[in-house]
């Protein structure tokens, strides 16, 4: 699994004009990509890392300050544009494999005590955020 993690001062995701997920104040906006070999165990590992990684102000984690997370599925994180002019998506897991694993990340975060908002899997989403720093990190598990 792969995640692009951004420290934010608020973030939201809109689908067809409706806000489906929103966090306010300090937190993390997390784009999650799933590949073919990923498992529920990797989803749990990613959730633990997201909850405990010390990237917030003052080297704090979401668990330290009870900061919210906005988790959004993004298959394009496994796009490959090394050849030609058009990326391929062969490394991205198909929806029936990816969706339950993204849901597992969210469920595991919530089980850890996190407040988690989400996008809508497979939808055409508009993501807005204020990146604080700017601070962006890539996590692979």
Annotated active-site residue in 24, 76, 88, 130: 76
Burial of 133 (0-12, 13-18, 19+ CB in 10 A): exposed
Which among 6, 35, 74, 118 is annotated as catalytic? 74
- Is 121 a catalytic site residue? no
Q: Which helix (H) or strand (E) holds 132?
A: strand 125-140
Give dist(CA 63, CA 9) in Å, integer. 17
Q: Is 74 a catalytic residue?
A: yes
3, containing H or E segment: strand 2-15
Q: Which of 6, 35, 75, 118 is catalytic?
A: 75
Give the catalytic positions in this structure: 74-76
């Amino acid at each position: 699994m792969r995640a692009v993690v951004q420290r934010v001062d608020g973030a939201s995701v809109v689908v067809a004009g409706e806000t489906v997920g929103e966090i306010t104040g300090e937190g993390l906006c997390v784009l999650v990509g799933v590949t073919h070999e990923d498992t529920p165990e990797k989803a749990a590992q990613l959730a633990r890392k997201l909850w405990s990684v010390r990237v917030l102000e003052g080297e704090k984690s979401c668990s330290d300050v009870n900061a919210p997370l906005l988790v959004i599925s993004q298959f394009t994180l496994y796009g490959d544009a090394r050849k030609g002019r058009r990326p391929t998506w062969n490394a991205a897991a198909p929806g029936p494999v990816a969706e339950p694993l993204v849901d597992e990340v969210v469920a595991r975060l919530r089980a850890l005590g996190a407040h988690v908002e989400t996008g809508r899997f497979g939808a055409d989403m508009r993501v807005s955020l204020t990146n604080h720093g700017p601070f962006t990190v890539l996590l692979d598990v």
